[in-house]
Amino acid sequence: MLYAVQPALSPETVQSLFSLAFGFAVAGLCASGYRLFSTHFPSFRLLEIGPVPARFAAVPLLIFSAPFIIMRNTLRGRRLERRRAEIVMVATVIAGLWSLMSGTVVVLALQALL
């Protein structure tokens, strides 16, 4: 009797993992690129300072670098302010979901280009 071998991961799961990885990679790339031309890392305060056109220009940067910003602020808060582990876990889930969504956009854009 022959048994069908089930794959360890479904193709949808693999695509989701790639999207998650691409999301975090693009977030780090955007934040590091901003840091290359500025004296500090990007933050959500970019939406509060400067003229209105500069605020609108910061929106795409913040959309794609948000997982990096969330994780950086979370880890710094845990170390400096002794935040509870539950808060860190919730922030990590939020950053992961945001990374999954922005990574999906990146993967779809790459698929459209190829």
Residue-range domain boundaries for the chain: 16-113
Q: What is the pTM of this model?
A: 0.83
pLDDT in tens, the chain (114 residues): 667 777 788 888 999 999 999 999 999 999 999 999 988 889 988 888 888 888 888 899 999 999 999 999 999 988 888 888 899 899 999 999 999 999 999 999 999 998
Judged by DSSP in three states, 38 sits in coil
- Whole-angstrom Cα distance, residue 111 to residue 114? 5
- Whole-angstrom Cα distance, residue 23 to residue 108? 12
Predicted pLDDT of residue 2: 65
